[in-house]
């Protein structure tokens, strides 16, 4: 079954991202920049139009855009209150490691929601499912990178980083499988896609984009982001032919 295969690919994408982060840290900003562009493009060029198309028969445009804002705010809260972007000095090594574990655990929750996004997108249509899958794969790849980096940056051991990488890689598979147990009506799908539009806008613009650029403020990173948007835009247009 196609969606089972896709679930396994998300596992490999997350695993690959984490493993590569251990060996090619100096070049990964370009990949993260490309990932940011693809995720933002999916939100703007696929999820937003599809949410308006499916939900427009049942809800006003303002209601749909409100759900986009709710999705954005939800991930904002998750990012600010659960994922600890720790930038200060911490003399307590145990507490420092605990912050890394909490951050990795939160990224695992992100990955689980990514899997649900794939499953629900395929309930909307095969085209939406395919495009969302591409975006999720790029995000899961960067999630693998960030999971490893969070553990190592907070004085964690490589063994611990690899363990959390495996858990994070498994999370989107479980998310996809969970959608087999329920289906949503077209009216609900429109609002769900609006929520995920908000999710992806936040992940791309407020998470992946700054992460790719702050340590390597180079024109190449910006160009990769624009390239990512163009590639997804063309892919979406070709899928609609």
CA–CA dist 241, 236 (Å, integer): 9
Structure tokens at 231: 């590639």
pLDDT in tens, the chain (241 residues): 788 888 899 899 888 888 877 776 666 677 778 777 877 888 898 789 888 988 888 999 999 999 999 999 988 887 676 554 444 444 455 555 665 676 677 678 778 878 888 888 888 778 778 878 877 787 677 778 777 776 776 666 778 888 989 999 999 999 999 988 887 777 788 898 898 889 889 878 887 788 777 766 778 888 988 988 898 788 777 765 5
CA–CA dist 154, 144 (Å, integer): 16
Structure tokens at 181: 């147990």
Q: Which of 147, 206, 105 is nearest to 13 (CA)?
A: 147
Say how many domains are in the chain: 1
Q: Which of 203, 194, 241 is nearest to 79 (CA)?
A: 203
pLDDT for residue 68: 95
pLDDT for residue 82: 55
pLDDT for residue 122: 87
Evaluated on CA atoms 136, 43, 33, 149, the torsion sign reads: negative
pLDDT for residue 97: 61
CA–CA dist 156, 161 (Å, integer): 7
CA–CA dist 192, 184 (Å, integer): 9
Q: Which residues of 19-51 are buried (b: 16+ CB within 10 A; e: fewer)?
A: ebbeeeeeebbbbbbbbbbbbbbbbbbbbbebb
- Domain containing 218: what range? 2-239
Q: Tell whether pTM > 0.85.
A: no
pLDDT for residue 154: 60
133-161 tens-digit pLDDT: 877 787 677 778 777 776 776 666 778 88
């Amino acid at each position: 079954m196609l969606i089972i295969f896709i679930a396994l690919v998300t596992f490999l994408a997350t695993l690959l991202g984490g493993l590569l982060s251990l060996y090619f840290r100096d070049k990964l900003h370009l990949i993260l920049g490309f990932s940011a562009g693809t995720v933002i493009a999916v939100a703007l060029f696929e999820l937003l139009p599809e949410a308006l198309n499916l939900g427009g028969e049942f809800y006003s445009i303002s209601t749909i855009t409100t759900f986009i804002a709710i999705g954005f705010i939800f991930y904002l809260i998750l990012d600010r209150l659960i994922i600890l972007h720790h930038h200060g000095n911490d003399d307590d090594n145990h507490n420092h490691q605990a912050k890394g574990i909490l951050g990795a655990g939160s990224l695992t929750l992100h990955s689980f929601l990514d899997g649900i996004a794939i499953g629900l997108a395929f309930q909307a249509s095969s085209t939406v499912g395919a495009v969302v899958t591409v975006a999720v794969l790029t995000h899961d790849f960067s999630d693998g990178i960030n999971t490893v980096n969070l553990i190592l940056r907070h004085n964690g051991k490589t063994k611990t980083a690899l363990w959390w990488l495996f858990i994070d890689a498994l999370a989107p598979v479980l998310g996809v499988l969970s959608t087999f147990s329920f289906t949503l009506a077209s009216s609900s799908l429109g609002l769900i896609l609006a929520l995920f539009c908000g999710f992806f806008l936040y992940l791309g613009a407020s998470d992946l984009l700054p992460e790719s650029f702050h340590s390597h403020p180079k024109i190449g990173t910006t160009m990769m982001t624009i390239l990512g948007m163009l590639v997804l835009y063309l892919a979406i247009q070709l899928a609609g032919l």
